[in-house]
Amino acid sequence: MHRMTTWLLGLSLLASPGWAKRPPPPAFQLGFQQFHQHHWVEALRLADQALTEDPKCFDAFWLKAFCQLQLGQHSQVRQTAINCRKVAGDEGERNYADYLLAEGWTTQNPAKAQALLDESVHRSTRPWRAEAQANAAWYYVKHAQGAKALELIDLAIPRMSLDRVSGAYDTRGAALVMLGRYKEAWIELEKAAKLYNSPNLMFHRAQCLEGLNRPREALKLYTQSLQQGGWHEFEALARKRIRALEKS
């Protein structure tokens, strides 16, 4: 699994095989830990320090952009994503930089963000196109466009290797939840759960359980998703659902 995919899925990057040839500077490791503790300003400072130590560190640019997103600095995200793309080591990393650039445009110009993702998919060559489609599908999951996410992930899955398809099952399940197809969604999410676990996956399983009218189980999973550790892209929504279920 590409190390950037592990981040998008809410898994830990710290043991990533992608760092074997060129590990990032120590400041990045510290910044990554601060990021997972929600200390965005300190994580951003450490990302900048890592870039001082290694100006071509893709991972440090990636961390910097995610911190900027959390701080609402969308115009800065766009510039960081452009710099990220300049130092990308392969087509896969360029696709992830495109994902960041799209996130940077989301609030100001959603149509431009979607056009960037479409361009990234169409420009990609095999074997990277499936990964670009999966990245775009995850973007649409995050931004509640289930039909578009399902369309893209269904194109990606047949061409994905086993180590990458686990996250695609999560994406597909989340898209099906958005479309109200809960029984189908549960099958996909359980496929993913047999291969890995993450806060994001637990959140989507909890959403699905709500749709299947299993609120107690959903509440338990929402709570566990906050306790799991790792990057949780739906933390605010999980807390909102916990409050609602506790009141019901």
- pLDDT category, 172, cuts 50, 70, 90? very high
- Given its phi and psi angles, is residue 10 left (phi above 0), alpha (psi -120 to 50 degrees) or beta? left
- Supply the pLDDT for residue 8: 52
Helices (H), the chain: 3-8, 26-36, 40-53, 58-70, 74-86, 91-105, 110-123, 128-142, 146-156, 162-178, 182-193, 199-211, 215-227, 235-247
- Supply the pLDDT for residue 1: 45
Domains of the chain: 27-123 (1.25.40.10)
**Cα distance between residue 125 and residue 132, in whole Å:** 9
- Given its phi and psi angles, is residue 38 left (phi above 0), alpha (psi -120 to 50 degrees) or beta? left
Does the pLDDT value for residue 218 go beyond 60? yes
Does the pLDDT value for residue 14 go beyond 80? no
CB 102 within 8 A of CB 128: no
- Supply the pLDDT for residue 4: 55
Task: Give the mean pLDDT of 91-107.
Answer: 91
Q: Kindly give, in sequence order, each residue whose CB lies less than 8 Å from that of residue 130, ignoring residues fewer than 6 positions away.
A: 155, 156, 157, 159, 160, 164
- pLDDT category, 22, cuts 50, 70, 90? low
Give the single-character DSSP code of 23.
P
pLDDT tens digits, one per residue of 106-151: 999 999 999 999 999 999 987 789 989 999 999 999 999 999 999 9
pLDDT tens digits, one per residue of 41-83: 999 999 999 999 999 999 899 999 999 998 999 999 999 999 9
- pLDDT category, 98, cuts 50, 70, 90? very high
Average pLDDT, the chain: 89
Does the pLDDT value for residue 21 go beyond 60? no
- Supply the pLDDT for residue 5: 54
Does the pLDDT value for residue 6 go beyond 70? no
Amino acid, res. 211: G
- CA separation, residue 209 to residues 42, 216, 222 (Å): 37, 9, 10
- pLDDT category, 7, cuts 50, 70, 90? low
**Cα distance between residue 100 and residue 109, in whole Å:** 14
pLDDT tens digits, one per residue of 182-207: 999 999 999 999 988 889 999 999 99
Angle (deg, nearest 10), helices 58-70 and 40-53: 160
